[in-house]
A and B are shown apart, each in its own frame.
Chain A
Amino acid sequence: MIKIKNLHASIDGKEILKGINLEIKAGEVHAIMGPNGSGKSTLSSVLAGREEYEVTEGSVSFDGKDILELSPEDRAREGLFLAFQYPVEIPGVSNINFLKTAINETRAYKGMEPVSAKEFLALVKEKSALVELDSKLANRSVNEGFSGGEKKRNEIFQMAMLEPKLAILDETDSGLDIDALRIVANGVNKLKSPNNATIVITHYQRLLDYIVPDFVHVLYNGKIVKTGGKELALELEEKGYDWIKGEFKV
């Protein structure tokens, strides 16, 4: 589904990603773990198309398309979704209205008719139930006045509405209590299918008890330094990141 080859990226002239190689197939869940500053969030930002980052080398092909050439909105329309580590509050813009715009612009991009009001409302009802998001929240301004847990649930709600092929969850577990974590993880698991894939970026192993990965990659100093099965996450949890740091001293 996605092939990342020798990806180098920098911000303000400072190189953060130093040659990432990663291939993800449909139906798989990949976890990317790593200490602070290893480049986890940079990787998600580069994939989603954040302007501040400059790709200096390498390629990313998503279902055969070079997505580095696409605008952030076109990447989303192609089926890429980023759940933000810090979801943005947008006063005055209604959650529902903007999602309708997003869905209809995506449909137009694919040459499809806009969604009917009735269909859309049914979709909102179904998907908000999936993440136990109060329908009142769905109607409010985007993330405005939401608690940390509500913001993260809203991310998964949007993901459910947009039905991406590849979802990147950027530290979705950060700041969540165990109940919120369970709700979020449940939502993600219910959305899993043989046709889509998920990248879970996290610092902690905890989330991976709920969203069980097929592969675990350890990112350190801008490179994937270790790849294994879900047991690698447990090993990391036990030995700590110093184990990695010691092994891969720069």
Chain B
Amino acid sequence: MTTAELTKKDKFLTVFSSLDFKSEPEHYAQLRKEAEAELLTLDFPTSKTEYWKYTRLGKITNNNFQIGKVEQVDIKPFLIPNLDANLLVVVNGFFMEELSQIASQNGITVSSLSKAKTQNSTVFAKHFNQYTQNKSELFLAINNAFHTDGIYIELAKNTTAEKPYHIINITTENNSISQSRNLFVSSAGSEVKIIESFVNANGSENFINNVTEIYVAENSMVEYNKIQDKKDTNFSISTEQVYQQANSNFAINTATFNGALVRNNLNIEVDASNCETSLSGLYLGKNKDHIDNHTVVDHKKPHCNSFEVYKGILDDESTGVFNGKVFVRQDAQKTNAFQQNNNILLSDNAVMNSKPELEIYADDVKCSHGSTTGQIDDEAIFYLQSRGVGRKSALNLMINAFAKDALEKVTIEALQEYIDAKIEERFA
């Protein structure tokens, strides 16, 4: 044993040995141990790992990270104008109570994840780590074993959140690593809208490995909006594990504005009838950004609809990856699944790898998927020019038109405006 050389993964994991989780209740300590055991069997994906084929992790695996620290950060630059929301601030994977502003509401429990662990909550214990264990994904297992803190939101039966929850998830420092973790539980008949902004206050080459579990109970509605805007020098891997019960409605909208390496793993298990699932994404790459969206919708029961649209605009030498998989299991008759990925390349050196996939085992379903990657239509530009619109304005009109409808499922008006303004700012 003593002669065995440390692998790259082992070296990578040593950074977490400084973290102390001793004060956690036994149940949660045990879950961490199980994840550590799983980690022994896993390794970094390589270019030969199909699921990671187009995303090389060298920038992360060869880095010397240190654990991100608790730090006071000015959150003003990250606020969304005109948004009336509860504010929850996480810095480098730690909850910052003094920066947060939460209006208490009957039937809603909001706290840090670490606090929730100590509250003897049966709902929390029932769902936490329930949808993430033993999935054979290294970064998910690392988060299972070594996550620090994050947000817990629980809605009791038939509760509608009066205001959205805006989580500002901030990283700072050079070469820091943070592992935030959220759990959202919407009980039967409840309704909540959540925004999470993943942003960077200072420093480069910092890495966040975030995991969010979402339990969408019967007849409940959850809208989760993800804004990824961490500048083009930082790394993000994030995993959402979503579990939907009967008659529920789940929508996720992901807007990625930049990132040296962004990988989103979105896994939605639709395990009961009559569910609605919507997945929307917009990614804007520039410089050497690398933005990878992997999504899985697993239809297990009949009469469900899923609707997925991801759109990308890639400039300079940026790279985009889309891999969307829809499973329709044998029992899932009458499934209606739609999936689409459209991309515009603004430069000859931009690259898009798109792989829409359907795997259908039921025989009475309606499923379609499609993928397009192209350039701005010159004929359309000429048409606009011939009416007196300058070439640059014509390009802007077309890019904005393409990008803006990607996130039309966002129902929070202030957020919609914020995203539109960011798109306009990018292409102005």
With the chains together, A73 CA to B379 CA distance in Å?
Answer: 14
CB of A76 within 8 A of CB of B386, answer yes
Chain A interface residue bracket vs B: 20 to 34
In the assembled complex, the CB of B344 is this many whole angstroms from the nearest CB of chain A, namely 12
Task: Give every chain B residue within 8 A of A102 (Cβ-Cβ).
Answer: 384, 387-389
Q: Assuming the A-B contacts A84-B383, A87-B383, A88-B383, are A93 and B390 also in contact, with contact meaning beta carbons closer than 8 angstroms in the complex?
A: no
Check if B382 sits within 8 Å of A98, measured CB to CB.
Answer: no
Query: In the complex the two chains form, is B386's CB within 8 Å of A98's CB?
Result: no
Contact with A along B388-404 (1 / 0, CB 8 A): 11110110011011101
Judge if A24 is at the interface, Cβ distance under 8 Å: no
Q: Among the listed B386, B388, B401, which residue makes an inter-chain contact with A93, where contact means beta carbons less than 8 Å apart?
A: B401
Q: Is A72 an interface residue (CB 8 A)?
A: yes
- Which chain B residue has the least Cβ–Cβ distance from A50? B382
Are B390's CB and A73's CB within 8 A?
Answer: yes
How far does the alpha carbon of A168 sit from the alpha carbon of B385 in the complex, in Å?
15
Chain A, range 34-57, C-beta contacts under 8 Å to B: 48-51
Contact A162 to B380, CB < 8 A, known contacts A92-B401, A93-B397, A105-B393: no
Q: Does A106 contact B380, Cβ atoms closer than 8 Å?
A: no
Interchain CA distance A142-B389 in the complex, whole Å: 14
The residue that B379 contacts in the complex, of A71, A88, A98, A162, with Cβ under 8 A, is A88
Is the CB of B405 closer than 8 A to any CB of chain A? Answer: yes
B379 and A105 contact, CB distance less than 8 A: no
**Which chain A residues border B348 with CB–CB below 8 Å?**
none
Complexed CA–CA distance, A213 and B24 (Å): 90
Residue B377 at the A interface, CB < 8 A? yes
Please tell me if A127 contacts chain B, counting CB pairs below 8 Å: no
Query: Which of A77, A90, A162 is the one whose CB lies under 8 Å from B383?
Result: A90
The prevalent SS among residues of B at the interface is helix
Q: Given A84-B383, A90-B383, A98-B384, A73 and B391 touching (CB < 8 A)?
A: yes
Tell me whether A105 and B390 are in contact (CB under 8 A): yes
Cβ-defined partner of B386 (8 Å) among A48, A101, A142: A48
Q: How far is the CA of A51 from the CA of B383 in the complex (A)?
A: 12
Residues of A within 8 A of B394 (CB): 73
CA distance A105 to B397 in the complex (A): 13
Given contacts A93-B397, A101-B393, A101-B397, A88 and B387 within 8 Å (CB-CB): no
B389→A98 contact, CB < 8 A: yes
What is the 8 Å Cβ interface bit string for chain B, positions 354-380, against chain A (1 contact, 0 not)?
000000000000000000000001011
CB-CB under 8 A from A51, the residues of chain B are 382
Total A-B pairs, Cβ < 8 A: 78
- Scan residues 64-122 of chain A and give those whose CB is less than 8 A from a CB of chain B: 71-73, 75-77, 81-82, 84, 87-93, 97-99, 101-103, 105-106, 109
Q: How far is the CA of A106 from the CA of B389 in the complex (A)?
A: 8
**B251 CB, min distance to chain A CBs, angstroms:** 21
Cβ contact of A71, chosen from B380, B391, B397, cutoff 8 A:
B391
Which residues of the partner chain B approach A142 to less than 8 Å between Cβ atoms? Answer: 383
Q: Does A158 contact B (CB under 8 A)?
A: yes
Inter-chain contacts of B386 with A (CB < 8 A): 48-49, 72-73, 75-76, 81-82, 84
A162 in contact with B388 (CB, 8 Å)? yes
User: Which of B388, B390, B393, B402 is the one whose CB lies under 8 Å from A92?
Assistant: B402
Contact check, A73 vs B401: say whether CB atoms are below 8 A apart.
no
CB-CB under 8 A from B391, the residues of chain A are 71, 73
Contact yes or no, B398 A103, CB < 8 A: no
Q: Which of these, B377, B389, B398, B405, contacts A73 with CB under 8 Å?
A: B389
A91 contacts which chain B residues (CB < 8 A)? 401
| 28 A–B contacts from the bound complex (CB under 8 Å) | A49-B385, A71-B385, A72-B382, A72-B386, A73-B385, A76-B385, A76-B388, A81-B387, A84-B383, A84-B386, A87-B383, A88-B377, A90-B384, A90-B398, A90-B401, A92-B404, A93-B397, A98-B384, A98-B387, A99-B387, A101-B393, A101-B397, A102-B389, A103-B388, A106-B388, A109-B388, A142-B383, A162-B388
Chain A residues close to B by CB (< 8 Å): 48-51, 71-73, 75-77, 81-82, 84, 87-93, 97-99, 101-103, 105-106, 109, 141-142, 158, 162
Interface set of B (CB-CB < 8 Å, partner A):
377, 379-380, 382-391, 393-394, 397-398, 400-402, 404-405
**Other than the known A72-B385, A158-B387, what 5 A-B pairs have Cβ atoms closer than 8 Å?**
A93-B398, A97-B397, A102-B384, A105-B393, A141-B401
